[in-house]
Amino acid sequence: MTFTDSQRKILIKKLHEVWKGDRPCPICITPTKWGIGTLVEVREFNEGNHCPGAAITPLIQVHCNNCGYTVLFNAISLGVVDPDTGKVKDPQ
């Protein structure tokens, strides 16, 4: 899922609250501007079998604009996704 402009602004604000200071990429070691990708999900592994009702974690992709190294942030912990409904919260 991609973010609307207003959702992206809220997300950037929340990331700045938790990711303090300049963060060079640990792979290419360049001071970089990090890009925000999409909202993705990771399911609990069940040996390749489909498992209805398995826990799903919504994650936000943040990537190095130079080399593509990607960091994942838990969207519920950042307050972007409602843990009860699984919906992306509307900017207030």
Residue 30 placed within a domain: yes
Q: What pLDDT tens digit does each residue of the chain (92 aa) get?
A: 778 888 888 888 888 888 888 889 999 998 878 999 889 988 777 777 777 766 788 999 999 999 999 999 999 998 888 888 888 877 65
Residue 26 placed within a domain: yes
Torsion of CA 51, 57, 60, 66, to 10 degrees: -60
**What is the number of structural domains in the chain?**
1
Residue 19 placed within a domain: yes
Separation of alpha carbons 18 and 14, rounded Å: 7
Domain limits for position 15: 5-47+54-74
Closest CA to 19 of 57, 60, 65: 60
pLDDT of residue 60: 94
Residue 62 placed within a domain: yes
